[in-house]
Structure 1
Amino acid sequence: MTSPLPQFKQDFLQTILSAKILTFGSFTLKSGRVSPYFFNAGLFNNASLLTSLANAYARTIDSHPALSTSFDLLFGPAYKGIPLATITATQLFSLNNEKYGSTGYAFNRKEKKDHGEGGSIVGMDMRGKKVVIVDDVITAGTAIREAVEIIKAAGGELVGIVVALDRQERKVVKEGEVDTGLSAIQEVKKELGVEVVAILDLADLIAGVEGEEKVRMMDYRKKYGAVQEV
């Protein structure tokens, strides 16, 4: 069967399946839900896998018109976002050095440095820059909101967010919260008014695999899937 996914998504999906970064079974998540699949971003742990990841991030950005022409700088939230923003910036340059040759990158320190150059930001000055955040996932949105405040404080303007995987499932509702039926990514997108895109989402996984795994993910989406965006 011919996959409806773009070639770079097909290649990335094949990589994460071969490396067992994406696995199938029964996995109890922090939310308490039992998921039929699990994505372990920590297993991008060698040069070949990191290159595949960098290419997927870069092509996701480059193929998205609202992002590829509207940013100056990639920001990686400490800690996981730091290498992700770095490898994506270099891969964008490899993809199109004329278009992305001046693309900057920056990241934050967890603790402000009080010697040497000082400060809590490393990399390109974000003042007056349009910024895209690069991270692995958005689970509750807390870390992304913290990153947004860091960018604002540094004088930057957030214009987009790119993550590796969007599970497309509605958030677990805590006591006192209203069930909007939205996913964490949908809530962040609505709140911040910027594009939030993923290399792969649950719909891509369902489109890209066959057999029992496909059926179980479809059942999971039916049970926990976020409302469709209009």
Structure 2
Amino acid sequence: MIDKTSKEFAKYLVDEDIATFGEFLLKSGRKSPYFFNFGKLNNTKRLQIVCSFYAQKIIQLGIDFDVIFGPAYKGIPLSIGVANAVQDLTHTPVEFCFNRKSVKKYGDVGSHVGANLEGKRVLITDDVVTSGITISESVKLVEKLGGEVVGFIVALDRQEKGVDIGISAAQFCENNYSFPLISVSSVSDIIEVLKTDSMNNAIVDSMNSYLRKYGAE
């Protein structure tokens, strides 16, 4: 069954050059023929559209949560934008929260900004994760504030093995937590969009070659 939301989102990422192609050095040390630059969510229109895709996926899957949490830094605008987008679809206010990189010791002291997480079901939102360490760090932040993580949603699944764990982030979640890693779209969806134009054949070949080397089983 074709997931319409995933395919439309993949096309949007390509059309807006958020999905970029060339040669990129990743944090992992790998050289990748593609990179997803969510730093390009630098105006309200783009942020609103991307967050609306997150919201569609959340509603589609029926995720039951109380608060959306965004880990600093890219998760911060996403947590607010996705909360607004879910409200637009459900007509119900949505709480959000994000952490500070360092604890504030004056005024509104503390390690986070926004809703209280104590005893609440928390949906973490981020852009892209490959590493299990990234997931674990975010979960620890939420649990330290008394919340229970019920899901971790990202824009895109790179579908590759993390250098640190040897398995994909989705597999890491499945093996270590009771909540799922949810992706709005995936590298496979990006490839399917690119394949509709023969001018992209070389890019598709390089992406498939990369996945054969580093892709998750």
Q: TM-score, normalised by structure 1?
A: 0.84
* CA displacement at 1:226 relative to structure 2: 0.7
- Indicate the residue corresponding to 2:210 in structure 1: 220
Mark the runs of 5 or more structure 1 residues left unpaired by the alignment: 174-179
Distance 1:129 1:36 in 2: 40
Return the offset for 1:170. 1.2
Task: Kindly indicate whether the alpha-carbon contact (under 8 Å) linking 2:83 and 2:95 is maintained by their aligned counterparts in 1.
Answer: yes
Which position in structure 1 is the counterpart of 2:167? 182
Please tell me the residue identity of whatever aligns with 1:17. Answer: V
Unaligned runs of 5+ in 2: none
Structure 2 Cα separation of the partners of residues 117 and 20 of structure 1: 39
Match of 1:36 in 2: 33
For the structure 1 residues 117 and 199, does the alpha-carbon distance in structure 2 shift closer, same or farther, using more than 3 Å as the test? Answer: same
Query: Which residues of 2 match residues 80-91 of structure 1 at below 5 A?
Result: 80-91=74-85
Deviation of residue 86 (structure 1)? 0.3
- Displacement after TM superposition at 1:96 (Å): 1.8
Q: Distance in 1 between matches of 2:95 and 2:174?
A: 23
Map 1:80-229 to 2 at 5 A: 80-97=74-91, 101-172=92-163, 181-210=166-195, 211=198, 212=201, 213-227=203-217
- Residue 9 in structure 1 maps to residue 11 in structure 2: no
SS in 2 for 1:143: helix
Q: Partner letter of residue 187 of structure 2?
A: L
Partner of 1:76: 70
Contact preservation (8 Å) 2:5, 2:184: no
Q: How many pairs align?
A: 212
Q: Cα deviations across residues 50-103 of structure 1 (Å, max 9, x unaligned)?
A: 1111111111211113x2xx2111001112111100000000011121xxx142
Q: 1:136 aligns to what SS in structure 2?
A: strand
1:56 to 53, 56, 77: 53
- Mean Cα displacement is larger for which, 163-172 or 29-38? 29-38
Greater shift after overlay, 53-62 or 111-120?
Answer: 111-120
d(CA) in 1 for partners of 2:4, 2:22? 26
| Residues 87-146 of structure 1 deviation map (CA, whole Å, 9 limit, x = unaligned) | 00000011121xxx1421111112222222322121111111100100111132323322
Aligned letter for 2:40? L
CA distance in 2, matches of 1:226, 1:84: 26
Q: Deviations over 1:24-58 (max 9, x none)?
A: 22333333433222211101111221111111111
- The alpha-carbon distance between structure 1 residues 206 and 5, as it changes in their structure 2 partners (threshold 3 A), is farther
Give the structure 2 partner of residue 25 of structure 1.
22
**TM-score, reference length from structure 2:** 0.88
Amino acid at match of 1:52: I
Q: Which residue number in structure 2 is paired with residue 176 of structure 1?
A: none
Q: Please list the CA deviations of residues 169-191 of structure 1 after superposition, one character each: whole Å capped at 9, or x if unmatched.
A: 11225xxxxxx751133213321
